[in-house]
A and B are shown apart, each in its own frame.
Chain A
Amino acid sequence: MPDPSIRKRRGQTGESHARAWLEGHGYRRVASNWHCRSGELDLVMIDGTELVFVEVKTRTGERAGRASEAVSRDKRRKIPVSAEWFIATRPACQDMIWRCDIAAVTINPDTGTAHIDHFENAVVSG
């Protein structure tokens, strides 16, 4: 088990990679690391007219397994609930189409470069 502070720092690095990648694809940031009683939303972005809640999974190298596989069943249930809390705090977002994506960030331990796999609609609430 890695040191929690190392894990946290790696998570932040992954989130900034994911955010930059998404912004490069035309997304706009609304919030990041947004907390509520149901948990945390890593990134909240706007994709055109749609609100996107992005769960960022960061892994170093392939050895640890693919990051997209690391979203637990419990987390999959909680993300849409956290999304509802988020929407409840923003009347402007109430009527928007929203979805939950996963951004899997794999960092190459030798070069420090990041590879990003973006899975749209990866967490389905219905």
Chain B
Amino acid sequence: MTDSPNLLAWETCLGKAGYQTVVGLDEVGRGALAGPIIAAAVVLPPDVDLTSGMWSDICDSKVISSARRETLAAWIAERAARCAVAALEAPVIDEIGIGPANRLVMEMALGKIERMCEVDFLLLDALTIDHAAPQSGIIDGDALSLSIAAASIVAKVHRDAIMTELSATWKAYGWDSNKGYGVARHLQALRQHGPCEHHRFSYRPVRDAGAPSYA
């Protein structure tokens, strides 16, 4: 893999091929044991200059500090031509399964964009969805496409905020720091207190922790 891929390679190519509105989509929270999955859809403004503003700072959201990510998310939301976010809660994930939930939440975010404008092409991270528009699922897409990277940052900041908010009510699990992922402290709290209504019971560590503690 090259060290510094051109983050606009896909967008530039698609633009030349006549696709005007390219939507970058990404989802976060698939691997978490608790909380919603969140998808974001971002349409970059025309004439993005990778050397100006904060565009050059947007690379894979997983390698950016959370404080920096919040600044970037606000910046993206302000400058993007279109930006939308959608969420699916844990009980829905349990009901339909993580794979379909993953695609559905992306379709929901995309649906919000479609209410604002016509959509010509979709860039997604690793998967494709049920949609009439042509699309590419790019593996490691949030490190390779600016549209996906921007969506990834918006989605992650949105989800982190939700998990921090939930942790004020469900204090035992440390969601303000682990965001619902299965780190040691979360697993230990699960064993000690049992799961709550925001846990995904289709995930084994949650099932193993026994019956829900709320009623």
Contact = CB atoms under 8 A, between A and B. Distances in A.
Given A88-B139, A99-B31, A99-B182, 12 more contacts: A38-B139, A47-B204, A48-B204, A50-B204, A94-B99, A95-B97, A96-B99, A120-B187, A121-B183, A121-B187, A125-B30, A125-B31
B172 interface: no
Contact of B127 (A80, A94, A97, A120): A94
Interface string B180-215: 011100010000000000000011110000000000
Contact of B126 (A37, A84, A96): A84
Contacts of B100: 95
Counting from the closest, the 5 A-B pairs by CB-CB distance are A95-B99, A121-B182, A124-B181, A84-B126, A81-B140
Nearest to B96: A95
B8 interface: no
Interface residues of A, number: 24
Contacts of B33: 121
Interface of A: 37-38, 47-50, 77, 80-81, 84-85, 87-88, 94-99, 120-121, 124-126
A85 to B, nearest CB: 6
B126 A124 contact: no
B156 interface: yes
Interface string B23-43: 000001111110000000000
Interface residues of B, number: 32
Given A94-B99, A96-B99, A126-B179, A120 B156 contact: no
Contacts of A120: 182, 187, 205
Contacts of A98: 31
B14 interface: no
Contacts of B29: 126
A124 B31 contact: yes
7 contacts: A50-B204, A81-B140, A88-B126, A88-B137, A94-B127, A97-B203, A121-B31
Contact of A77 (B63, B183, B202, B205): B63
B98 interface: yes
